[in-house]
Amino acid sequence: MIARGDREAFSRFYDGFAGLAFGLIRRIVRDPAASEEVLQEVFWQIWREAARYDPRRGSPEAWVVMRAKTRAIDRLRAMRRREKTFVAPADDSLTRSTEEPAENPGVAVETRGLVRSALNALPESQRRVVELAFFEGLTQSEIAGRLGEPLGTVKTRARLGLERLKSLITREEPARP
């Protein structure tokens, strides 16, 4: 039964997390119309599958981020399959995405600056692993293949990269009003 309260709860949930999801989807998918479709699909899926949410497996925020990322990557792959001519090297697309702030006019500038500087503060080898996983949707063994590095090295870099990001973000956060 879909109670009236659930609809309201979902509405608030959407308001709280849609910006987070949409920004991420835009960054991965790029195309505005396709991004809006993905966003609606993500929240439609969340609405239908709320019962499967398991707090042990992460915060609601992480849950939304992961779903948005997964759906966006799915869409990106589908678009690339359709547009065979589109063969942007991963590194080029990553560079472009970080150097085109105008693409995301609604971005919270302070936070973006914080995390961008945090991402840039990572050693190049760690940053590439994090970005290939997060924005290109590659698995760790795919990343290993792409970079020509052993799988163990990729796993370690992912861990070190996230540990460093976490410490950078945590250190900066209390200073934000």
Q: What is the DSSP letter of 134?
A: H
The residue (of 4 and 82) whose beta carbon lies closer to another protein is: 4
Torsion of CA 27, 28, 31, 36, to 10 degrees: -90
User: Which position among 3, 82, 92, 102 is part of the footprint of another protein (CB under 8 A)?
Assistant: 3
| Residue 53 in the binding site for another protein (CB under 8 A) | yes
In angstroms, what is the minimal distance from the CB of 80 to another protein? 18
Using CB under 8 A as the binding rule, whether residue 165 contacts another protein is answered as: yes
Count CB atoms within 10 A of the CB of residue 137. Answer: 16
Q: Is 34 one of the binding residues for another protein (CB under 8 A)?
A: no
Cα dihedral 28→12→16→49 (10° resolution): -40
| Residues in 106-135 at the binding interface with another protein, rule: CB under 8 A | 106-108, 111-112, 114-116, 118-119, 130, 133-134
Q: How far is CA 135 from the centre of its chain?
A: 6
CB 161 within 8 A of CB 126: yes
* Residue 170 CA, distance from chain mean position: 19
Is residue 154 within 8 Å of 147, Cβ to Cβ?
yes
Q: Does 71 bind another protein (CB under 8 A)?
A: no
- Choose between 95 and 139: whose C-beta lies nearer to another protein: 139
Size of interface with another protein, in residues (CB under 8 A): 81
In the set 30, 31, 34, 50, which binds another protein (CB under 8 A)? 50
**Interface with another protein includes 30 (CB under 8 A)?**
no
Q: Which of residues 133-162 bind another protein (CB under 8 A)?
A: 133-134, 137-141, 143, 155-156, 158-159, 161-162
**In whole angstroms, what is the distance from residue 137 CA to residue 43 CA?**
20
Q: How far is the CB of 84 from another protein (least distance, A)?
A: 26
